[in-house]
Structure formats: C-alpha cells, structure tokens
Amino acid sequence: MSIKENEHVDEGTGADAPVAEAEASPAHAELSGMLDDARNKADENWNQCLRLQADLENQQKRAERELANAHKFALDRFSQELLPVRDSLEMGLSAFTEHNTDADKLGEGVELTLQMLAGVMEKFGITEVNPLDEPFNPDFHQAMSMQEREDVAPNTVVIVVQKGYLLHDRLIRPAMVIVSSAAQAHGET
C-alpha cells in the first residue's frame, strides 16, 4: 500500500471517526438515560407494590378482627334484651319467697314475664313451632310416639310435648310431638 492510500484511508477513517464517535456518544448517553428512567420506574412500581401489599395485609387483619368481634359479640343485643326478663323473674321469685305473694299475683307476674320473653324472641326472629292438630312434618317435628285416634286423620299431631323453634326460618329445635295413627279394627274371633 502506498502512503497516499494510507493517507486516504486515514483521511477517510479520520473524517469518519469523529462522526462515528459523535453518533455513539449520544446513543450511549440516551441509553444510559433510558436505563436510569427504567430503573426509577421499576423502583417506583416496586415501592407501590410493597405499599399495596401492606394495605392488603392491613385490610385482611382488620376484617379478621371485625369478624372475631362479630362472633364474640353477636349476642350482645339479644343479651341486653333478655336481662329485663331475668330481672322480672328474679323480682317475682323474691316477692313470692319474701312476701308470701298470693298465687294469682305470682301467676300474673309469670305471664307478663313470659310475654316479655316472647317479645324479645320475636324481635330477634325466633318463632315458635306449635303444630297441634297439624299434619306431622318430619322437617319441623320429632315424633315421640304414636297414639291410636279415630277422631283425627292419621299422622296428625295430637299432643305437643315440647314446642319447637325457628331462627329466621331455620330450625333450631324441633317440636317434640305425639302423632295419631289409624285405629285398628278389633275383630272378634
């Protein structure tokens, strides 16, 4: 290669080199800037993710506390309503034992107390199942025995031994009943 060719090459390289370096430098700076922006956004997103995760954990803990309190104090209002009923029973018993109250007044007091209790139960959705003279329903009644009866249809509740109760239409205690059966014909032999 001649010196002129080297000069040409050098000139070409020399002339092209500053342009290439100039082009490479802004691209490198631009990429560095973009990388810094991406890192900042990633850090920002990570911090936001951590905050959201902490918020979610706090909400879960709060919900668990509220649920535990709801279970713990579910009967609070019901209990407050029952206290006057208990007070009435205690006063009636005290009046009977200390003052020899007559039976009629005591009976009247017990009847009023029972009405108070029925009102509290009704207020909280507890309803009575008293199926006397109704067809036997195994979903709400528990048969204790059967009794032969000609005056009523078979499988009719003829005696309620113990009333049943529903809580908002859900059975909490079945009624204990005696159910009629068809009288069997007694043939002579």
Average pLDDT by stretches of 10, the chain with 189 residues: 48 49 69 91 95 95 92 84 90 79 83 93 93 95 94 94 94 96 62
Is 81 domain-assigned?
no
pLDDT for the residue numbered 98? 76
Q: Among positive and negative, which fits the CA dihedral 114, 116, 119, 121?
A: negative
Quick one: pLDDT at residue 18? 52
Q: DSSP for the chain, please give it.
A: --HHHHHHHHHHHHHHHHHHHHHHHHHHHHHHHHHHHHHHHHHHHHHHHHHHHHHHHHHHHHHHHHHHHHHHTTTHHHHHHHHHHHHHHHHHHHHHHHH---HHHHHHHHHHHHHHHHHHHHHTTEEEE--TTSB--TTTEEEEEEEE-SSS-TTBEEEEEE-EEEETTEEEEPEEEEEEEPPPP----
Domain assignment present for 69: no
CATH number assigned to the domain comprising residue 174: 2.30.22.10
- pLDDT for the residue 9: 46
The residue range of the domain holding 149 is: 126-184
Residue 155 included in any domain: yes
- pLDDT score of 25: 64
pTM of this structure: 0.60
Asked whether residue 10 is assigned to any structural domain, the reply reads no
Does a structural domain hold residue 162? yes
pLDDT value, residue 172: 94
Residue 133 belongs to a domain: yes
Q: Does a structural domain hold residue 176?
A: yes
- In-domain check, residue 31: no
Number of domains in the chain: 1
